[in-house]
A and B are shown apart, each in its own frame.
Chain A
Amino acid sequence: MSNINNLAIDEKYEIKRLDKTSDNTEVIEVKAEKLFETATYLKMNKDTQFNMLISLCGVDKLEHFEVIYHLYSTIFNKKLILKVILNKNTPEIESISPVYSAANWHERETYDLFGIKFSNHPELTRILLPTDWKGYPLRKNYVNNDERLSWNQR
């Protein structure tokens, strides 16, 4: 048993501790296969009770993608940051929207702008951009060369 924000977590989830943030929030790294179990555990366990997903976002680190989950426990007033590293070519991870319903639209947005696929998501379509948009704009190697948008080039 190891402690996260003074709360206990089982070691079978293979978490890796990273440096704390400036406001003393615990940051942990989870493997992509273990994410769903870990999130379920963190929400359901009596000692952790991270019952709220504050935000979910993607990061393009050039070599790999990251998905970052900010969890919050309204019972203990504790925050936790979960990081998952995905490979560059086929970024795919299991959706946590069955556990946290707030993740639904956040995951769609991450898919929309980064092209990270969330398996088992109820409706993984574009949420902000037009449905027939080409490419994923927040990727570092994105370049907009859609001929339909030629009227808007500067």
Chain B
Amino acid sequence: MKIIFTAIDIVYNWARSNSLWPLTFATSCCGIEMISASAASYDIARFGAEVFRASPRQADLIITAGTITHKMAPALVQLYEQMPEPKYVIAMGACCITGGMYENDSYSVVRGVDRLIPVDVYLPGCPPRPEALLDAIIKLQKKMKTESLLERKQYLEAHKPRVILSEDRDCEILLPNPDFEVIHWGVQTIGYDKDYKKAEVNCV
């Protein structure tokens, strides 16, 4: 029985890895490189990933190209949840991986898209060249070819988004998911003066 499943997986993975449909999701300059990769000179179509879909329901890969801010984060999580399984994520560029140059003391930038959704391939660069994006897609194809669908389902089950959308329509900020422990990578100390800690935040 296992042999049959393995044989099916090989054919199935070969077919779907050579026909990736990415979602059009570009939030900053990495998007320009993504466009360049899909244009004639680099031609992402050679790897079967040229069909950039405008709807997440038709896509199985999201290339998060660019900086993700708190305002964009709910939209990204919603798009990710609307994609049919099996779904894959490429984090493109420094901002997507760690927050990039905004990582230190920005008030608005999400420090790594892996705090929102599970990432399969990290693609460093600021921004990465189109060849690098092609390399990331080849790496993703290799990953897809060596896994079974059952494993993928278990993986997605274990790596649910660590944040949740609020049911309150007036709340636009993503809330931490109570099922997951919030990891603190360090203490965020904004400002250059010791008096700043005493300052109160004024509510709107």
Interface positions of A (Cβ within 8 A of B): 115, 126, 128-137, 140-146, 148-154
Contact = CB atoms under 8 A, between A and B. Distances in A.
Interface string B156-172: 00000011000000111
B182 A144 contact: no
Interface residues of B, number: 35
Given A129-B71, A131-B172, 18 more contacts: A130-B172, A132-B170, A132-B173, A133-B204, A136-B202, A140-B196, A141-B191, A144-B190, A148-B173, A148-B174, A148-B176, A150-B176, A151-B115, A151-B163, A152-B110, A152-B115, A153-B186, A154-B185
Contact of B175 (A126, A136, A141, A148): A148
B188 interface: yes
B11 interface: no
B165 to A, nearest CB: 12
Contacts of B107: 137, 142, 144
Contacts of B170: 131-132
Nearest to B99: A154
**Is chain A's binding surface mostly helix, strand, loop or mixed?**
loop
A70 B107 CA distance: 27
Contacts of A129: 70-71, 108
Interface string B182-204: 10111110110001110101111
A141 B195 CA distance: 8
B188 A134 contact: no
A143 B70 contact: no
B186 A154 contact: yes
B202 A137 contact: no
A148 B163 CA distance: 10
Nearest to A145: B201
A131 B71 CA distance: 9
A154 B182 contact: no
B87 interface: no
B81 interface: no
13 contacts: A130-B172, A130-B173, A133-B173, A134-B201, A137-B108, A141-B199, A143-B191, A143-B199, A149-B173, A150-B182, A151-B162, A153-B188, A154-B103
Nearest to B190: A143
Given A143-B196, A148-B176, A154 B111 contact: yes
B176 A151 contact: yes
A93 B73 CA distance: 33
A29 B122 CA distance: 51
Contact of A153 (B71, B184, B204): B184
Contacts of B191: 140-143
Contact of A142 (B111, B176, B190): B190
Contacts of B172: 130-132
